[in-house]
Structure 1
C-alpha cells in the first residue's frame, strides 16, 4: 500500500512522475520520485516500437556469432525482468545484466541497440537516485544517436539528460537540454515527445518560481495530450494548470481547470488524484466564501482519503475542513 500511495501521490505533485520501465525503450516522460521508483518514458517512434529483445532476435546482419546475439538478447531480457521488480537489489542486478548485454552489443557493432541499452542503464541509475551515473550513460547514448543522425532518439537522450540535470538541481542545464529536445521533437513531428518535453519545461519553470512561464508550457502541452487521446496526461495537465492559477490568485480559472480534471480522474479510477482535486476545489470554494460547497467537496475528499488509507492526505483535508468551520464561527 505504501508503494502504491507514493506512486499515485506522485502523479499529482508538480515535481514530476515515475513508473516502471516499459518493455521497449520509452524514455520521454522520465520523472523520478524515489530511489525505488520505476521509470517509464515514451516516444512516437513507430519504427522502434518492438521490444529490444525481439529486434535483436530478428536482426540478420553479420555478427560474430548467433550465440553472441542470443546471449545479448537473454541478458537484456533478464535486465528487464529485474528492473521491473523495482527493488534496490533487483535494480543493481539489472544494471549488471544490461552491462553484460552492452558488452556483447559493442562487440557485435550494433550501435542502435548499444544506445538503447545505454539508455536502459541510465534509467535504472535514475531510479536509484544516482543521477550523475545516469547522466554519464545518457550522454554516451546521445553521442551514438548523433553519429547515426537519428534526431528522434537524440531528443529522447536529451530528455534523459535534462531530467538528470533537473534532479541534480542544475536547472539552467536542464532547460537547455529540454529546449534542444523540444526543437527536435517538432522537427520530426513527434507530438507525444513534444507534449512530454513541454511538460518537463513547465516543471522546471515551476520549480524556479516562474509560474507564468510554467503556465505557458503546460497550456501548450494540454491540447497535444487531448489530440493524442491520452486522458491521464490530459488530467494531469489540467491539474497542473489549476494549481498554477491558484498560486497566481486567479481562483475562478483554477476552479474551471479543476472541474475539467475531476471527471477525467474519476473515469480513470485515480482515487488519489480525485481526492487531491476535491480538496483543491473545496479550498477554492472556501476562499470564494462559498462555505457549504467547500464542506461538500472536502467531505468527499475525506471519505476517499480514508478509503485508500492516505493518512497524510487525510490530515491535509481535515486541516482544510477545520479552516472552513473556523471561518463559520
Structure 2
C-alpha cells in the first residue's frame, strides 16, 4: 500500500519555506537582490508543485504524465534555491506518480534520490513515507524480503514522529507480506497491531481492509 501523505505534507512543509517578498527600493544591495531572486524562485516552485498536484488529482494517465512534467519544473526551482526539503518531497511525489503509472524502476530512482535528502533535512516523517513506498514497490516487483526490510525501517520512524495513520498503514503492509510469505501467525501479529490504530484515527476504510 502506497503512502500518499507526502502530497498533504508537502503543501504545509513547502509553504513554510516560502517567504513573502517586500517592496524593493531602487538601490538594493547585492545580497538583497540574491535573496529576492531566491524568494521569487521559491514561490514559483510552490506554484509549479501545486499545479502538479492538481493535475495528479485528475487521475487520468495523461494528467499524471503532465503532473510529472510540472513536478520536474518545481524540482529544478527547489534545487536552484537550495530547498532540500522541497526537493525531497517533490522527488518522492514524482516517484509515486511513476509507480502508479506502472514504471516501478523509474519510481525507485526518484525515491532513492528523495531518501537521503529527507534524512539530511531531519524530515523523519518524509523519510518514513519514502521508505514505506520503496517497500511497496519491491513488494509489487515480487521482492518480498527486500520489501520487508524497507517496511521495518519505516515503522520505528512512524512511531517516533507520532504518525499513527502511517504506522497503521505500514503495520498492515508488513502483515500482508508475512501472509504472502506463509507466516500466518506473524501476519496476525501485525494486523492486530494495525487495527486499533485504524480505529483511533477514524480510518474506517483502512479498518475494514485490516
TM-score, with length taken from structure 2: 0.84
CA RMSD of aligned residues (A): 2.5
Alignment partner of 1:188 is 2:121: yes
**2:45 matched residue in structure 1:** 115
Q: Distance in 1 between matches of 2:145 and 2:11?
A: 27
| Deviation digits for residues 47-81 of structure 1 (CA, Å, limit 9, x no counterpart) | 8438x7xx54xx31439xxxxxxxxxxxxxxxxxx
Equivalent of 1:209, from 130, 142, 146? 142
**1:60 matched residue in structure 2:** 22
The unaligned stretches of length 5 or more in structure 1 are: 1-13, 19-27, 31-39, 64-106, 278-329
| Deviation digits for residues 255-296 of structure 1 (CA, Å, limit 9, x no counterpart) | 11111112222222333322322xxxxxxxxxxxxxxxxxxx
**1:297 matched residue in structure 2:** none
| C-alpha contact 1:44 1:191 (8 A) present in aligned 2 | no
Deviation at 1:184, TM superposition (A): 0.8
Alignment partner of 1:249 is 2:182: yes
**1:29 matched residue in structure 2:** 6
**1:49 matched residue in structure 2:** 16
Deviation at 1:199, TM superposition (A): 1.2
| C-alpha contact 2:135 2:148 (8 A) present in aligned 1 | yes
Could you say what secondary structure the match of 2:6 adopts? coil
| C-alpha contact 2:92 2:110 (8 A) present in aligned 1 | yes
| C-alpha contact 2:148 2:177 (8 A) present in aligned 1 | yes
Alignment partner of 1:238 is 2:171: yes
Q: Distance in 1 between matches of 2:15 and 2:197?
A: 30
Q: Distance in 1 between matches of 2:12 and 2:178?
A: 31
In the alignment of these two chains, the number of paired residues is 196
Q: Distance in 1 between matches of 2:100 and 2:202?
A: 30
Q: Distance in 1 between matches of 2:170 and 2:109?
A: 22
1:193 and 1:44, CA in 2 relative to 1: closer, same or farther beyond 3 A? farther
TM-score, with length taken from structure 1: 0.55
Following superposition, which runs of at least 4 residues in structure 1 exceed 6 angstroms of deviation? none
Q: Distance in 1 between matches of 2:196 and 2:96?
A: 30
Deviation at 1:17, TM superposition (A): 5.1
Choose between structure 1 and 2 for higher RCO, CA contacts under 8 A separated by at least 6 residues: 2
1:1-329 → structure 2 map (5 Å cutoff): 14=1, 16=2, 18=4, 29-30=6-7, 40-42=8-10, 45=13, 48-49=15-16, 55-56=19-20, 59-62=21-24, 110-129=40-59, 130-277=63-210
Deviation at 1:179, TM superposition (A): 0.4
